[in-house]
Amino acid sequence: MEIHRFLYKSDKAGHINFIAYILAFIALVAGIESIITAILLVLVAAVLYFFQRGIELDLRNGTYRFIIAFGPVRIGSWDKLPTLKTISVFSTNKVSTLTSRANNESEFKNRVVQVNLITERNQKIKILEVESKEPAFLLAKAVARKLDVNVWDATEREGNWVEL
């Protein structure tokens, strides 16, 4: 896989889209009474629905940027990639907690695989988070070849270097 530019938009919580749908529905109902209220509600719903955060890598120029995206429009300033030590692929639990009005809490664990660029100062730059190992390793290997660094597999208890 030859890669020169990579874009990852992180998933937002599902309830954000649900709130956007509810606001759009209320806008339809409110449109009967006040068109201005309906337009404002539709605008808020659109921002909630299309808003995303993420990262974009330009491997050809050795730059990256954290982005805020509204649909296809991406906003963020480009920075030079710091000197990298390695690329790390590891598994972790993503924990979400829901609290009801009655103060009952439910905790949900979801296993995810992350790909991080590790700098010489041991700082992490997360470039991908997915639910399975295969796409994570495909990206990690492609980026490692382009940036001439090694890939560390930390998805198992005993980590090891990955053959490129």
Whether residue 134 contacts residue 113, with contact meaning beta carbons closer than 8 Å, is answered with: no
- Identify the CA nearest to 140 among candidates 54, 52, 76, 59: 59
Over residues 16-57, the pLDDT tens digits come to 888 888 888 888 887 777 888 888 888 888 888 888 889 999
pLDDT digits (tens, 9 = 90+) for 73-95: 899 999 999 999 999 999 988 87
Evaluate whether 90 touches 154 at the Cβ level (below 8 Å): yes
Helix 14-30 and helix 35-50: axis angle, to 10°?
A: 160
Domain annotation covers residue 162: no
Domain encompassing residue 115: 82-156
pLDDT (mean) for 2-29: 79
Q: Are 122 and 98 contained in the same domain? A: yes
90 & 62 share domain: no
Number of domains comprising the chain? 2
d(CA 57, CA 6): 5
Q: Tell me, yes or no, whether 38 and 109 share the same domain.
A: no
Q: In this structure, are residues 24 and 41 in contact, taking their beta carbons and an 8 Å threshold? A: yes
Average pLDDT, the chain: 86
Measure the CA–CA gap between 65 and 73, rounded to whole angstroms.
14
Query: Which pTM value belongs to this model?
Result: 0.76
The predicted pLDDT at position 134 comes to 92
Query: Mean pLDDT lowest for which of 79-88, 104-113, 127-136, 151-160?
Result: 104-113
Cα–Cα distance between 132 and 155 in angstroms, integer? 10
Instruction: Work out the pLDDT band at 144, boundaries 50, 70, 90.
Output: very high
Identify the pLDDT of residue 1. 53
Q: Is the pLDDT of residue 111 over 90?
A: no
For residues 63 and 117, give the distance between their C-alpha atoms in angstroms, rounded to a whole number: 13
